[in-house]
Amino acid sequence: MEKVSWSRVMFILMLVFVLALAACGNDEASDEPTDEPDAATEETDDSDNATEETDDSVAETEESADEGADESADTDAQAEPAETEPQVTDFEPAFLEQTRAPEVVTEAELDVEVVVEDLGVSWGMEEFDTNRLLVTQRDSAELLIVNLEDGSVSDPIEGTPEVNNEDQGGLLDVAIAPDFEESRLVFLTFSQDIEGGTVTSVGKGALSEDEASLEDFEVIFQATPAYDGTLHYGGRIIFDDDENLFLTTGERSDDPIRERAQDLDAYLGKVIHITQDGEPVDTNPFIEDEDALDGIYSYGHRNTQGVDFHPETGDLWIVEFGPQAGDELNIIEPGNNYGWPVVSYGIEYTGELVNEGISEHEAQGFVEPRYYWDPTSAPSGMSFYDNDAIPEWENNLFIGGLAPNYIVRVIIEDDLIVGEERLLTEEGERFRDILVTEDGALVASTDGGLIYRITAAGEGE
Ligand SMILES: [Ca+2]
């Protein structure tokens, strides 16, 4: 024990008093929020060092926590972060709320139910009818209908595309057209073999009335150039209010192809904005630029597998699978460059620096992430909770974590992350996609073949 000075005791007493006065619903810290990261992930380049790098020193975190308490009596510095693992990097955040948000704990009692088991990797889910989901199977490339009420699973829907299902490839996301009830159109993303390698592709087909087949499936967009690799496809899609599609792509992982994330003549490492026919939306930021591809909306991304619109602000948020300790939440604005692989808050999975080891985005002319995780959240699909069935979750963001294995809940105020929680930490599952149903259930798929439904206690039936 170090000796404790009288002034320090007084300071702490004052701090406690001030915080008690200011008590505005701070959530208490809970026990044991983290699992060991799962080293047996197929994101081979993304997992190796995640477990080894954590031995450094507990002392380091305690030290910085103490410093925090001393510096800022006017903030929440007393609340411990949800992240309990030591930091992997030495980078400083650009602003206080950019990483290691204080832990929050859901107060409502929850029912956690496994609705379906024995599936494959359910990469994408979409509710197309009340409590009935279209669910992709990445590796088998099957599209299934899962009924959340009785746990039944349909036969595979006929007419889905051929995919390249090596490594991270396969049948990826699914979305229904905004006018699905009339058009019956279902949009799929997948990794496709074309001349020169593989690409992330988008296609569409009409679900037959008997729900047994996708009719007239056609590819509407290919995120060229093709590359001879099977990693980092990105692949999430979402419709905007104008009934156009946003598509996220990966930068194909390897050095040097990943540098194409910075190039405006390649669809790698981008957010792409296209019509339902795969044409660039005519308000896109680079339409007037002859050297740039017209479908590009934003660039400098690594491997984005989660996307959703904030229910209140309408902003497009994405979650980017970064390098080690560099997973990012970003707000997407047209024409912006998010920095990869020039700058990053993370480091390579080999332990080396990324490029020149610069973390600051803004000073280098890039957009700062709204949040990053050190060591990692290994983010996949995500969804805002745009429902009031669990009132304290309203407008919170839920993100599937692959390794470590939990669902991340983040609380956003004025575009700042002010709280973080890890859910289902004891399940040992890699959470792949997240969906909020019309009636407010949080649904999560896992690589272990499960689909969870989480509801307020007593309301799940
Ligand atoms: Ca970035």
pLDDT digits (tens, 9 = 90+) for 260-317: 999 999 999 999 999 999 999 999 999 999 999 999 999 999 999 999 999 999 999 9
Q: Sign of the CA dihedral 149, 433, 431, 368?
A: negative
Helix (H) or strand (E) holding 306: strand 304-309
Give me ligand 1 centre to Cα 113, in Å.
Answer: 36
Find the DSSP H helices in 214-330.
none
CA distance 7 to 324: 41
Give me ligand 1 centre to Cα 369, in Å.
Answer: 6
What is the SS3 assignment for 22-42? CCCCCCCCCCCCCCCCCCCCC
CA distance 335 to 242: 19
Residue 314 covered by a domain: yes
The DSSP code for 93 is P
CA distance 120 to 31: 32
Other C-beta atoms lying within 10 Å of the C-beta of residue 391? 10
Q: Which pLDDT does position 4 carry in this prediction? A: 45
Give me ligand 1 centre to Cα 213, in Å.
Answer: 40
Count Cα neighbours of 339 within 13 Å in the Cβ-side half-sphere.
Answer: 29
Q: Give the pTM.
A: 0.85
CB 311 within 8 A of CB 319: no
What is the SS3 assignment for 374-399? CCCCCEEEEEECCCCCCHHHCCCEEE
Sequence letter at residue 261: A
Q: Which residue has the tokens 């192809």?
A: 257
CA distance 53 to 137: 33
Give me ligand 1 centre to Cα 232, in Å.
Answer: 16
Residue 26 covered by a domain: no
Give me ligand 1 centre to Cα 83, in Å.
Answer: 20
Q: Which pLDDT does position 5 carry in this prediction? A: 53
Give me ligand 1 centre to Cα 32, in Å.
Answer: 30
Peptide bond into 225 cis (omega under 30): yes
CA distance 132 to 38: 31
Q: Which two tokens stand for residue 61?
A: 């975190």
CB 298 within 8 A of CB 271: yes
Give me ligand 1 centre to Cα 140, in Å.
Answer: 33
Give me ligand 1 centre to Cα 219, in Å.
Answer: 30
Q: Which two tokens stand for residue 273?
A: 């904005």
Question: What residues does 125 pair with on adjacent strands?
Answer: 135
Q: Which two tokens stand for residue 455?
A: 């509801």
Q: How far apart are the first and last CA of the chain?
A: 53
Structural domain that includes position 240: 110-456
Residue 81 covered by a domain: no
CA distance 184 to 206: 5
CA distance 133 to 98: 34
pLDDT lower than 50: segments of the chain: 1-4, 18-76, 460-461
Residue 41 covered by a domain: no
Number of domains in the chain: 1
Q: Which pLDDT does position 79 carry in this prediction? A: 86
Give me ligand 1 centre to Cα 261, in Å.
Answer: 11
Residue 410 covered by a domain: yes
Q: Which pLDDT does position 307 carry in this prediction? A: 98
Task: State the catalytic residues.
Answer: 232
- Collapsing DSSP to helix, strand or coil, 282 comes out as coil
Residue 399 covered by a domain: yes
CB 388 within 8 A of CB 441: no
CA torsion, points 421, 423, 428, 431, in degrees to nearest 10?
-90
CATH code of the domain covering residue 196: 2.120.10.30
Residue 241 covered by a domain: yes
Residue 351 covered by a domain: yes
CA distance 156 to 93: 47
| Closest alpha carbon to 329 in 252, 218, 417, 406 | 417
